[in-house]
Amino acid sequence: MIKKEEQQALIDLANEARRRAYVPYSNYPVGAALRTKSGRLYTGVNVENAAYPQTMCAERVAIFKAVSEGEMEFEVIAVVTNNGGSPCGGCRQVMAEFGLDALVLLADGAGALQKVMTVSELLPEAFTPKHLQNG
């Protein structure tokens, strides 16, 4: 369980990271902050590219940073955008890979929590590693 103050601290961390978003094309900065079950914190921002499809979302940056440090069990991820926008389909799929029960906190640019949901709520009927075990 994550307490209200901890939720806000994670949102604030994501919002602070968001200042480092590299968004010369969309001007839509996104910040993410991920807390693992072991209590470690990883932030991410969107990083755009002149070759547009090479852009990487903030959520995936945070998740890939965690996984590359050997952390694969996530408790909660906060995502901050100007307007409380929701994670894209690709990020939902990447979240689902590492657990459907993690909480997702969506907040706006003022750091106000807009929505709380689980990964399974964000991506119902997810395709997960389990499907490959008896395929």
Residues catalogued as catalytic: 59
Q: Which is nearer to ligand THU, 26 or 38 (CB)?
A: 26
The single residue among 9, 20, 55, 128 that binds ligand THU, judged by CB under 6 A, is 55
> Strands 31-36 and 74-80: what pairing?
antiparallel
Residues 6 or more apart whose CB falls under 8 angstroms from that of 62 comprise 32, 33, 34, 42, 43, 44, 77
State yes or no: residue 72 binds ligand THU (CB under 6 A): no
Which of 8-16, 69-77, 86-94, 118-126 is the region at the interface with ligand THU (rule: CB under 6 A)?
86-94
* 100 vs 135 by CB, closer to ligand THU: 100
- Nearest approach in angstroms of CB 127 to ligand THU is 18
Amino acid found at 78: A
Q: What is the DSSP letter of 100?
A: S
Among 34, 87, 96, 119, binds ligand THU (CB under 6 A): 87
E-strand stretches of 91-135: 103-107, 113-118
